[in-house]
Chain A
Amino acid sequence: RKEVEQDPGPFNVPEGATVAFNCTYSNSASQSFFWYRQDCRKEPKLLMSVYSSGNEDGRFTAQLNRASQYISLLIRDSKLSDSATYLCVVTNAGNMLTFGGGTRLMVKP
């Protein structure tokens, strides 16, 4: 079983739609959680950290469920510029970042 699992997608949504991605992780001792965004042929960039109480940054909302070892990312009012691959990231046993395979989002006009 992979340490971090994501649906690879692609998720094809129209502009203005709300879309949600989920991610599960296997290490119950993981302490830090993030969502990264990666554009085609570019490096991953930190989108937001994920906190136990849930957190919001503009149109983006991240949730963490430690009991179920589950992380989510909700994007409201999707923009064409949101098209990218979204990587779920958790810390592993050595406290280093372990990346999921990513979920590809395509926002259509």
Chain B
Amino acid sequence: DAGVIQSPRHEVTEMGQEVTLRCKPISGHNSLFWYRQTMMRGLELLIYFNNNVPIDDSGMPEDRFSAKMPNASFSTLKIQPSEPRDSAVYFCASSSRPDSSYGYTFGSGTRLTVV
């Protein structure tokens, strides 16, 4: 199993530009999660999909952030326009169970730097 695959691994962009992060969950996993990690705030849940449907997006910081899951094998997190305070590591995770009782498997993350 290839695990959760994220791309790109690193992204450096200028303030105001659009950034798109990509994630391929583990095959057969029905739940997908986007997290953001910073030194100050730790790991924060941004949005959660179950069977491709967004269930909880209360963690999305503001309208500049949007996420989609057009099919079971692909999700995107888009930031438009990007700001320096968006600099963080963005992790995608997937799970075979919506009740989280088996934990999540994380991708390697995308390290985003907005200058």
Contacts and interface: CB of A to CB of B under 8 A. Distances in A.
Which one of B43, B98, B101, B105 has the greatest number of beta carbons of chain A within 10 Å? Answer: B43
B113 to A, nearest CB: 14
Given A43-B91, A99-B43, A94 B56 contact: yes
A55 interface: no
Main DSSP-derived SS at the B contact region: strand
B42 A102 contact: yes
Contacts of B43: 44, 87, 99
Interface in A43-84: 43-46, 49
Given A42-B108, A43-B109, A98-B45, A34 B103 contact: yes
B99 interface: yes
A96 interface: yes
Interface in B94-115: 98-101, 103-109
Contacts of A101: 42
Contact of B45 (A45, A96, A100): A96
Binding site secondary structure of chain A: strand
Contact of A97 (B42, B56, B100, B109): B100
Contacts of A95: 98-100
A46 B103 contact: yes
B102 to A, nearest CB: 8
A96 B48 CA distance: 9
B101 A32 contact: yes
Nearest to B101: A32
Nearest to A98: B45
A32 B107 CA distance: 21
A43 B107 contact: yes
Interface of A: 31-32, 34, 36, 42-46, 49, 87, 89, 91, 94-102
